[in-house]
Structure 1
Amino acid sequence: MKTYDVVVIGAGPGGLTAALYASRANLSVMILDRGIYGGQMNNTAAIENYPGFDSILGPDLSEKMYQSSTQFGADFGYGAVESVEDKGNVKIIHTDDGDYETKVVIIATGSQYKKIGVPGEDELSGRGVSYCAVCDGAFFKGQDVAVIGGGDSAVEEGIYLTQLAKSVTIIHRRDQLRAQKILQDRAFKNDKIKFVWNADVKEIVSEDDKVAGVRYIDKETGEEHVVPAKGAFIYVGIDPMTTPFKSLGILDEAGWINTNEHMETKVPGILAVGDVRKKDLRQIATAVGEGGIAGQQAFSYIQELSDDKVSTK
């Protein structure tokens, strides 16, 4: 069994930053991920809202963060985490490629957007299909865009997009929104927002390998229509990637992880950062900030463990 002071599960911006801070504090650190480092940044064509860069390709920022996070000796390993055991001052991480023993676990596994599963969704991801208006809305200034969904996120992001887009069409499968009343009122009062009700989305239409519209069937009439749009923003839900941590008792009813301001969960020695946390804004910048806090908190926790051992001798 490999032993480290800190094991970071997930190599997105939050996890990489946590590894940077922990290894810089002279702790032995392993970064574990089931895929390439960088997480969802690798699926982003251009990042324009991260300080220090006017614009940078997602994979390029991933590479820069990885190089920075490993400069003080942190290791990187591939492996899908299956479960984590809490044995007090020691945690055991079980993966599909062996086990790890550590004093601190930092969970940075992120979340994933629910997909609608229609033709064009995957093929046009990054070419007009998006799941984040704050990330990608600026690419559609002065253009017509569509928002698919009817909950809080769909309506909030639709309202946000009106600051940039020429028009926003919210396409919803029901005959009324599910969003909070205050959000609905704001949307209905916004002249830039149009609504399509009782719509069964069938396809994200393309032209020249970019989004050109959203094809749907009216569930009441059976008629087929296409909403012209250069961008299709999909908001039908988001799920935290926390299945391996169910036995720890740190998840809420929806699977999100609650932490305090130090990124600590209710289990000593287990922290969480980034999109896996229950929070409002999921951005690279917020994940990086949380990663720095967690890396430093890992050092403080391990120092306390050492102090306790000295005091008991």
Structure 2
Amino acid sequence: MYKAIIIGTGPAGLTAAIYLARANMNPLIIEGPEPGGQLTTTTDVENFPGFPDGIMGPELMANMRKQAERFGAEFRTGWVNSVDTSKRPFTLQVEGQGELQAESLIISTGASAKYLGIPGERDNVGNGVSTCATCDGFFFRGKKIIVVGGGDSAMEEANFLTRFATEVVLVHRREELRASKIMQDRARENGKITWALNRTPIEVVTGGMGVTGLKVLNNTTGEEEIIETNGLFVAIGHTPNTKFLGGQIDTDETGYIIVKPGTSETNVPGIFACGDVQDNKYRQAITAAGSGCMAALDCEKFLEGSMVHDWSQSL
């Protein structure tokens, strides 16, 4: 029986672990198959406060984990198959760990970026392929960039990247875009954005020193083409990692956990959410860490209140 179990070890989960461990709550943190979250696939992190020369993503996550362990947080590795939220203590079925119980839960399982699934893509994440313009755009100053996608996020990222790039090529497999008209208009009015519509990406081309191009199929002519580029930004959306909850926690139509505004509270008392699993707007390490702090403080307050309640009921 644990006072608190944290599911997920990105910036949100590890920050929550640091706060709860320092409060003598002895949290258990369950790591999935990718400990540290998306930052472990990022090379240089230059926008996390406190590191004027930047820091490698894996190093930042390793430091956060050491900090949590220093204060007594316990870590276990396993895949959470299911959670019973119908009554407290909550029961988790964890692959490799069996059944675990907790008085409270913090869900920080993040969101996974969607990839194209083409050769050369995943092999070059952090080496010319990215899913976060805000994180990595600076590294492509004065270079040519490709953005793949046809929705609002693709238009937004393309516009943002024109701050750094000499040219941004927007590649989409259809002639029509899914993006709202206002976002399309902004992109079309930007002189640095060029368009390669009705083209399906089929391979990321590398020249031994990173990405050099994107091979596409021209759906009109049926011919293959190579669009030269120094970087490829995939902007086709994210999938929040909430499937294991089995619909027991309220989410929006895309699967992101809904929290009470200004808090980390879900619709189930004693269950809190932080990081990208409840944030489809900012998706930054620093905002995830901040929400992890919120979740820990909300959780601590909940546990203190419930313990007082339980004690008074026993009188």
Which category of TM-score, normalised to the shorter sequence, fits these structures?
Answer: over 0.9
Separation of aligned partners in 2, 1:297 and 1:237? 30
Q: Give matches, 1:201-216, under 5 Å.
A: 201-216=201-216
**Aligned position for 1:300:** 301
Residues 74-93 of structure 1 aligned to structure 2 (within 5 Å): 74-93=73-92
In the aligned structure 2, how far is the partner of 1:199 from the partner of 1:229? 15
- In the other structure, the counterpart of 2:128 is 128
| CA distance in 2 between partners of 1:166 and 1:155 (Å) | 17
Q: Which residue of 1 aligns with 2:276?
A: 275
TM-score normalised over the length of structure 1: 0.96
Counterpart in 2 of 1:153? 153
Q: CA deviation at 1:30?
A: 0.2
Whole-angstrom distance in 2 between the partners of 1:71 and 1:278: 29
The answer (yes or no) to whether the contact 1:150–1:177 under 8 Å persists in 2 is yes
1:18 pairs with 2:19: no
Identify the residue that residue 47 of structure 1 maps to in structure 2.
45
Residue type at the aligned position of 2:159: I
Q: For 2:199 and 2:115, locate their aligned partners in 1 and report how far apart those are by CA, in whole Å.
A: 16
Q: Counterpart of 2:85 in 1: which secondary structure?
A: strand
**1 CA distance for matches of 2:145 and 2:311?**
62
1:99 positional shift = 1.4
Contact 1:37 1:66 in 2 (8 A): no
Q: Kindly provide the amino acid, as one letter, of the partner of residue 199 in structure 1.
A: R
Give 2:114's aligned residue.
114
Deviations 1:114-167 (A, max 9, x none): 111111101211110110000111110000000011101111000000001111
Distance 1:36 1:147, change over 3 A: closer
Q: What does residue range 92-107 of structure 1 map to in structure 2 within 5 Å?
A: 92-97=91-96, 98-107=98-107
Letter in structure 2 aligned against 1:18: A
Compared with structure 1, are the counterparts of its residues 247 and 185 closer, same or farther at alpha carbon in structure 2 (3 Å cutoff)?
Answer: closer
Q: Give the equivalent residue in structure 2 for 1:67.
A: 66
1:88 shift after superposition: 2.9
Whole-angstrom CA distance in 1 between matches of 2:250 and 2:180: 28
Identity, % of aligned positions = 40
Instruction: Name the amino acid aligned to 2:266.
Output: T
- Structure 1 stretch 247-256 or stretch 29-38: which is displaced more? 247-256
Provide the rounded CA distance (Å) in 2 between the counterparts of 1:194 and 1:76. 48
RMSD: 1.2
Question: Residue 195 of structure 1 aligns to a residue in which SS?
Answer: strand
Equivalent residues of 1:124, 1:209 under 8 A apart: no
* Aligned-partner Cα distance in 1 for 2:76–2:311: 33
Tell me the amino acid that sits aligned with residue 165 of structure 1: A
Mapped to 1, the partners of 2:65 and 2:212 lie a distance apart of 36
8 Å CA contact 2:249, 2:266 repeated in 1: no
- Structure 2 spans left out of the alignment, 5+ residues: none
Q: Which segments of 5 or more consecutive residues in structure 1 lack a partner in the other structure?
A: none
1:252 CA displacement? 2.6
Partner AA of 1:205 in structure 2: V
Q: What's the secondary structure of 1:147's corresponding residue?
A: strand
Deviations 1:140-197 (A, max 9, x none): 0000000011101111000000001111000011112211111111111100000011
CA distance in 2, matches of 1:38, 1:9: 12
Give the whole-Å Cα distance in 1 for the aligned partners of 2:34 and 2:2: 21
Q: CA deviation at 1:69?
A: 1.6
Compared with structure 1, are the counterparts of its residues 74 and 157 closer, same or farther at alpha carbon in structure 2 (3 Å cutoff)? same
1:36 deviation in Å?
5.3
Mapped contact 1:12–1:40 kept (Cα < 8 A)? yes
Opposite residue 265 of structure 1, the aligned amino acid is: T
Q: 1:60 deviation in Å?
A: 0.8
Q: Are the aligned partners of 2:151 and 2:179 in contact in 1 as well (CA < 8 Å)?
A: yes
Q: Which moved more, 1:38-47 or 1:140-149?
A: 38-47
Q: How many residues align?
A: 311
Write the distance in 2 (CA, Å) between the matches of 1:310 and 1:5.
Answer: 15
The whole-number CA distance in structure 2 between the counterparts of 1:141 and 1:278 is: 28
C-alpha separation in 1, matches of 2:67 and 2:303? 23
What is the CA deviation profile of residues 194-241 of structure 1, one whole-angstrom value per residue up to 9, with x for unaligned ones?
Answer: 001100111111112410011111101112221111000011221111
The aligned amino acid for 1:62 is M
Q: 1: CA distance between counterparts of 2:150 and 2:272? A: 33
The structural deviation recorded for 1:53 is 0.8
| Aligned partners of 1:92 and 1:101 also within 8 Å | yes
SS in 2 for 1:290: helix
- For the residues of structure 2 that align with 1:144 and 1:247, how far apart are their CA atoms? 43
What letter matches 1:295 in structure 2? A
Task: List aligned pairs for 1:148-227, cutoff 5 A.
Answer: 148-227=148-227
